[in-house]
C-alpha cells in the first residue's frame, strides 16, 4: 500500500489569494495544519489553544456554542478548499464540537496584553482555562 504524500510540506503556507480577519497563512507540521498566522495585528492561533468565542451582533456563533463560551481549538481546515468556507477553526467545549471563523475568536487582536516569544512571535500573556 503506497504512503500518501502530504498536501503541503512542513512550514508556513500562505492562504491562496485571501485573508480571513487578518489571517494570511497556516503552519504545517507532519502534513497537518497546526496554527494560523496573520498580519501584525492578530495573534497566532494554534491547535490546543484555549480561547473565548465571540458571536456576531446578535450573539450568534456558528459552531452552536454560546457567545463568551470558553473552548479549545482542536484543528484547522484550509480555507476555500474542498467545500470549506472561512469557517476554518474546529473548536470543542461544553460537550459540543463545531467550526468557526477567526472572527469568532475573542481577543485575537494585538490590543490584548501580549508578549514577544524568544522566536519573535507575539502571543497573549494570559491563557484561558476550558
Is 30 part of any domain? yes
Q: What is the pTM of this model?
A: 0.77
Question: Confidence class of residue 46 from pLDDT cuts 50, 70 and 90?
Answer: very high
Is 112 part of any domain? yes
Is 35 part of any domain? yes
Question: Confidence class of residue 128 from pLDDT cuts 50, 70 and 90?
Answer: very low
Q: What average pLDDT does this structure show over 45-63?
A: 93
* pLDDT value for 32: 93
- End-to-end, the C-alpha distance of the chain in Å comes to 41
Is 53 part of any domain? yes
Q: What's the DSSP call for residue 109?
A: B
* pLDDT value for 2: 60
* pLDDT value for 39: 83
Residue 118 neighbours by CB distance under 10 Å: 5
Is 3 part of any domain? no
Is 94 part of any domain? yes
Strand partners, 105: 53
Is 63 part of any domain? yes
- Residue pair 78/104 in contact (Cβ under 8 Å)? The answer is no
Is 129 part of any domain? no
List the domain range (segments joined by +) for residue 105.
11-124
Give the C-alpha separation, 123 to 125, whole Å: 6
- How many domains does one find in the chain? 1
- Residue pair 105/45 in contact (Cβ under 8 Å)? The answer is yes
Instruction: Kindly report, residue by residue over 70-124, the tens digit of the pLDDT.
Output: 999 999 999 988 888 899 999 999 999 999 999 999 877 655 556 666 676 666 5
Give the rounded distance of the alpha carbon of 1 from its chain centre: 34
* pLDDT value for 130: 43
Amino acid at each position: 500500500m503506497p504512503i500518501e504524500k502530504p498536501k503541503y510540506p512542513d512550514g508556513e503556507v500562505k492562504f491562496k489569494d485571501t485573508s480571513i480577519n487578518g489571517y494570511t497563512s497556516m503552519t504545517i507540521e507532519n502534513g497537518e495544519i497546526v496554527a494560523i498566522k496573520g498580519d501584525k495585528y492578530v495573534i497566532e492561533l494554534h491547535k490546543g489553544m484555549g480561547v473565548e468565542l465571540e458571536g456576531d451582533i446578535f450573539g450568534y456563533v456558528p459552531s452552536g456554542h454560546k457567545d463568551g463560551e470558553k473552548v479549545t481549538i482542536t484543528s484547522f481546515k484550509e480555507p476555500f478548499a474542498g467545500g470549506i468556507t472561512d469557517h476554518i477553526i474546529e473548536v470543542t467545549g461544553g460537550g459540543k464540537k463545531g467550526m468557526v471563523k477567526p472572527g469568532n475568536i475573542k481577543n485575537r487582536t494585538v490590543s490584548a496584553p501580549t508578549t514577544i516569544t524568544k522566536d519573535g512571535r507575539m502571543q497573549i500573556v494570559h491563557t484561558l482555562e476550558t
